[in-house]
Structures are given as structure tokens and as C-alpha cells.
Amino acid sequence: MSISPNRNKEAQKVTIIGAILDTLLGFAKIIIGTAANSNALIADGIHSFSDLLTDFMVVIIFHFSHDEPDDEHPWGHARFETIGTVFLGCVLIAVAGAMAFESIREFWTSSTIPTPGWPALLVALLSILSKEWIFRYTLAAGKRLKSDLLIANAWHSRTDAFSSIVVLFGILGAMAGYPWLDILAAVIVAAFVGKIGWDLTWNSIKELVDTALPEERVKELQEVVEEVNGIINVHHFKSRNMGSKSLLEMHIQVAPYCSASEGHWIGDAAVIKLLQRFDDIGHVIFHIDTYDDAEESYCRVLPLREEIEEAIAEHLHRYAPDIKDYHVTLHYLHDLIEIELKFDPKNIESLGEYSASALSEQMNESMQSLPWFSKLTIWCR
């Protein structure tokens, strides 16, 4: 399934708008924070520049992750998006650690903590409003494009809005005579950043080790498959994520006398229904069963066609040695095999002294000694 070029372009557009905003806010916070003696605002400025770094990373990753599958990456390049999210989370954790360390170090080493000025208050308020807007704008685009990376970047912007709220109260407290509140606000901002970084990293690592989709999601997918006429049950259901897409594998049980072509057609119908109902499914692999092999598999003990046809020819030769032209249909039913022989009507005289029903009776009696044999039916087509 190819990725629409419009998805890539729209994601880059959203990210570039966020990057411009982060650049302006980052410079404003650090410059005003330095001039107005606010450690919390300087820390928030570093947070904004970390947003800028991840914005550029999102643009680069989107470029590579949506390339078409090739010989080296037959499943596509969506995992680049996942790896990028891991890196994004690690960046946030590193930034959080640096921010917390610097704020705590200054608190213990400085004899006096300067009081922030009112320009720092205005910049913090401006940051809250602008970052909340870019969060909502990016999150809406991420949900529309089904991009975990874009959604992750939106929540990164939301942490900047939350941290700016903490900074606002820290500055207000410092201006009211409690200058240590500005330092505390900087540490809280670092905690915000670190928590989001950990969540992003952990969720992406779970995807990289092929963790299954949530149980309720799997149940919903199975129920859709079981709605298809001709499907008895679904088992051995496996799921995983790759970037913004879900990959599924399953065994579909159909009626034991269903032909191979009909069984495959029923499986295709199930895939189409899944794709119509869920637009985040990237690939579906299905295996058609005529019995529930979740309980037990007999493929190791039952013979294949060549051995069965040799047995049929041997027993048939005893009663109707002149019959050469017939078609064999095999039905594997759990631990036994049912056989259908179809004769051309013009070869009926080759049956000799036997009628079709009499030959069928003799063959069934003769082949009962075979451990895998169930019954044989003869048809004249």
C-alpha cells in the first residue's frame, strides 16, 4: 500500500510552521529570560529550541519513512518513523536532565537569586497562547494523517505550553518575594520534558520489538473478519505496528469441503472488509484452514497427493484395471482424508463387471486398512 505524497507534504507543512514558531519563541525566551533574570524562562527557551530540533528531525524522517518498498526493505520504510520517535524521546530526556541539573546547581551555588522582571512574565504568557495553538493544529493533522510521529511532536509542543504555565507562576512567585520559585519552576519544566520523552521512547521501543496491538483492538479486528460469510472462526491472530500502520496475520477457518479458490476468495473478502473499516491497516497475511489447527496439526502425519494417488491406483487396479482417466479430489478433515473420484461417462464401460456404486463399495472396503483413509466416493461427471 503506497503512501500518498500529499500526506508527506502536509506533515512537512505543519512541522515547518511549528519550527518557525519555536525559533521565535526560543530566542525571545532566552534573550528576555537573561535580561529579566529568569532561570525558568531560560530553561523554557531551551525547551523551545529542543522543539525546533525535533521539528527538523520530523521533516527528515518523513522524507525517508514514506519511500516505497525496495529489495532491502520489502515491508517499506515506516520503521524509520518509529526509530525517529525513539530518538526524539531520548533528546527530550537529555534536555530535561540538563535543565534540572543547571537549575539545581545555581540554587545551591548562588548566594543571591535575582528577581525576574515583568518582560519575562509577558513572554511566558505569549508562549502559553502560541504553543497551545500549535499543539492543537499539529495534533489535528497527526490524527488526520494517522502519524504517531506527528502526534508525538504535537504533544512535545503541549509540554512547552504546560511548562510555560509553570514558568508563569514561578515568575509571579519570584516577583512576589519568593525568588526560589523561579528555580523550582525550571526543575518542574524539566520533569515535564523528561516524562514525555520517556513515554515516547518506551512506546516506540515496544513497537520495534513487535508488541501486539491492544487486546480490545484485536478483538474488534477479529469480529470484523468473522462477519464475512463463509468464515467459521479466526485463530492464530497476530498483530503489530509499523510506523502509523498495523500489520496483521491470521488463520481463517472455512468449511471442510470448500475449494481452494473459494477459500482464498473468502480470505480476500475479509481483507477488503478490514481495509474498508480501518484505514490504518497496512498489510494483511491470511492462511486458509479447513479445520481449527489451533487445537492440533495433522500435516506431519497425513500423506500428500502423490502417495494417496499411488494408493488409489493400486487398489483401483484390482477391480477395474482398464480405468486410467479419472480426477482425484482430496478433503483433509482433521486426522483423516476423504477422496472423490470423478470418471468421465464415456469410460463407464471400463468399469467391467462393476457399477460405479459397486466399485465404490469395494474400494472403501479395500482401503480401510490405510490409517489415514476415511471414505471414497465415485462420481460420473
Residue identified by cell 506527528 is 150
Question: Could you read off the pLDDT of 209-228 as tens digits, one per residue?
Answer: 777 788 888 899 999 999 99
Res 180: pLDDT: 79
Tell me what the pLDDT averaged over the chain comes to: 80
Domain 215-289 maps to which CATH number in 3.40.50.2300, 3.40.50.970, 3.10.129.10, 3.30.70.1350? 3.30.70.1350
Position 1 pLDDT exceeds 50: no
Contacts within 8 Å (CB) and 24+ apart, 140-143: 141/10, 141/11, 141/14
Question: Could you read off the pLDDT of 154-198 as tens digits, one per residue?
Answer: 877 777 777 788 888 888 888 887 877 878 887 887 887 788 788
Res 53: pLDDT: 66
Please provide residue 327's backbone torsions phi and psi, each rounded to the nearest 5 degrees: -115, 135
Question: Could you read off the pLDDT of 111-149 as tens digits, one per residue?
Answer: 566 677 788 888 888 888 888 898 898 888 888 877 766
**Residues spanned by CATH 1.20.1510.10 within the chain?**
5-208
Rounded Cα distance, 302 and 318, in Å: 24
Q: Are 165 and 129 contacting, i.e. CB atoms less than 8 angstroms apart?
A: no
* Beta strand pairing call for 281-289 and 336-343: unpaired
Measured in whole angstroms, how far is the alpha carbon of residue 15 from the centre of its chain? 23
Res 63: pLDDT: 63
Question: Could you read off the pLDDT of 17-27 as tens digits, one per residue?
Answer: 888 888 888 88
Closest CA to 308 of 273, 262, 341, 348: 341
Q: Of 356 and 359, which is predicted with more confidence? A: 359
User: Is the CATH number of domain 5-208 1.10.3720.10?
Assistant: no
* Sheet strand arrangement including 336-343: 326-333, 336-343, 373-380
Going from the C-alpha of 255 to that of each of 263, 341, 342, the distances in angstroms are: 8, 20, 21
Position 6 pLDDT exceeds 90: no
Beta bridge partners of residue 245, listed in sequence order: 242
**Can you give the pTM of this predicted structure?**
0.57
Contacts of 307 (CB under 8 A, 6+ apart): none
- The torsion of the CA quartet 222, 226, 227, 228, rounded to 10 degrees, works out to 120
**Residues spanned by CATH 3.30.70.1350 within the chain?**
215-289, 305-380
Considering only 36-50, 215-229, 305-319, which range has the smallest mean pLDDT? 36-50
For every residue of 211-223, which 3-state class applies, written as one string?
CCCCHHHHHHHHH
Residue identified by cell 482425484 is 328
Beta bridge partners of residue 221, listed in sequence order: none
Position 3 pLDDT exceeds 60: no
Contacts within 8 Å (CB) and 24+ apart, 173-180: 174/38, 174/113, 174/115, 174/116, 175/115, 175/116, 175/118, 175/121, 179/113, 179/114, 179/115, 180/107, 180/113
Binned at pLDDT 50, 70 and 90, residue 374 comes out as: very high
* Sheet strand arrangement including 281-289: 233-242, 245-253, 281-289
Please provide residue 36's backbone torsions phi and psi, each rounded to the nearest 5 degrees: -100, 10
Position 370 pLDDT exceeds 90: yes
Q: Provide the CB-side half-sphere exposure for 96 (13 A, CA).
A: 21
Position 250 pLDDT exceeds 90: yes
Rounded Cα distance, 19 and 50, in Å: 10
Position 353 pLDDT exceeds 80: no
DSSP letter string over 282-342? Answer: EEEEEEEESS-TTT---TTTS--HHHHHHHHHHHHHHH-TT---EEEEEEEETTEEEEEEE
Domain 305-380: state its class. Answer: alpha beta
